[in-house]
Amino acid sequence: MPMQETRPKGQLPRLGPSLQNIARTLEAHFLGKQEVIRLMLISAIAGEHMVVVGPPGTAKSAMIRMFARLIDAKYFEYLLTRFTEPNELFGPVDISAFRTGTYRRKTETMLPESEIVFLDEVFKSNSAILNSLLTLLNERIFMNGQQRIDVPLISVFGASNEVPNDETLMAIFDRFLLRVRSDNLDSYHFHDLLARGIRNEVMKITGAERSMRPVLPARELHALHASFDSCMVFPEEFLATYKGLVFQIRSEGISLSDRRVIKITKLLAASAFLDGRAACDAGDFFVLKHIWNNLDQSEILAEIVGPVLEAYFREHPEARRHAAAEVGLDALINEVNLIRDLIASGEPLSDIQLFSQLKSLNEIRAALQAIGTEQATQVGGMVDQLLEHVFQSSKFS
């Protein structure tokens, strides 16, 4: 069947404003997490699952919970341990039915009847939990005794402090198509981090966080999934580039099964849909940075995908996601001004202070180069001047 370069119009729900509203709300609360937030939206649009991996205190749980609040869906959350029992996730056994010889669970308000699910420390679950989760995540089916239930699941979001290295856990890890890192922020984000963190804490204290209203009904996501075949059409040139990237990834020893190669196309189509585009472009390949099997592979994937993204954005500068770049650029400019004011104050700095400023300026310069806009380049010139000043200060102090 020949590939088409446009998708039929008028068959998809108009979710653009609601999705962008969710993104803006999350970005306003969580600094430096624009890509993680975009990937959460892509997961929900595609109906796929995502796990966020990172050290404690990097906003993994808070982001997922706020995301769930912004979608009017049946929500289920649970912290897993090796002692977690199936009834804690899937519901208790129906005793009255059991007395008549029928085995089934009461699934009301439990995972099998939920649409958005958050499983914290998902890789600490035991085999009894894993066996039931595997079919539910992949097939959207839950066997309640002899009854087969089609679950209304949109996406499962997992969180973990580490990537599993136990072979028994690899099957559940494989069900999470997207694997995303959430790290501590760089030093140049520190002042904005404090400001937003304090605001978030105030929201918790006052209860404002609990009163946050959803902006997207789950039924609209279900309607999108029912008509998502309209999104699954790709230009031949795009598919040729995708093929090249897949074989380059495999040549680096990164396992990528044919099944995952096909399912990733849903994520690419979801990225285009999120931007309101009728077809994918090379900018959507950023998704491939987040299909690693261990953390070491994330750097390899970035090196493979990076040149394709940069080449595309050089040719199509208007395609850069300016909203995310502007948020990052504002934080960088604020930090540069703070460092400049500190240096210009004339107060002597200790060697530790000078080293700290040198480290911050180098991080800022790398971030500005990644943004790549004209304004970022101008700010980069200021950073170079400050670096020279700090270097001279440390050299001759």
Give the pLDDT confidence of 369-382 residue by residue, as tens digits: 767 777 888 888 88
**Is 114 exposed, middle or buried, given 0-12, 13-18 or 19+ CB atoms closer than 10 A?**
buried
Give dist(CA 395, CA 337) in Å, integer: 23
CA dihedral 222, 223, 226, 227 (to 10 degrees): -140
pLDDT surpassing 90 at residue 178: yes
The strands making up 75-79's β-sheet, listed across from edge to edge, are 75-79, 116-120, 155-160, 50-53, 178-181
CB 185 within 8 A of CB 193: yes
Give dist(CA 386, CA 332) in Å, integer: 14
Angle formed by the axes of helices 374-396 and 322-344, to 10°? 30
- Percent of the chain whose pLDDT exceeds 90: 52
Lowest mean pLDDT among 137-151, 350-364, 370-384: 350-364
- pTM confidence score: 0.79
Provide long-range contacts, Cβ within 8 A and 24+ apart, for 164-167.
Answer: 164/123
What SS3 class is residue 281?
A: coil
- CATH class given for the domain over 16-216: alpha beta
Give dist(CA 362, CA 387) in Å, integer: 8
User: CB neighbours of 23 closer than 8 A, spacing ≥ 6?
Assistant: 37, 38, 41, 323
pLDDT surpassing 70 at residue 10: no
Residue 23 to residues 9, 18, 28, 44, 319: CA-CA distances in angstroms? 25, 9, 9, 12, 18
pLDDT surpassing 90 at residue 49: yes
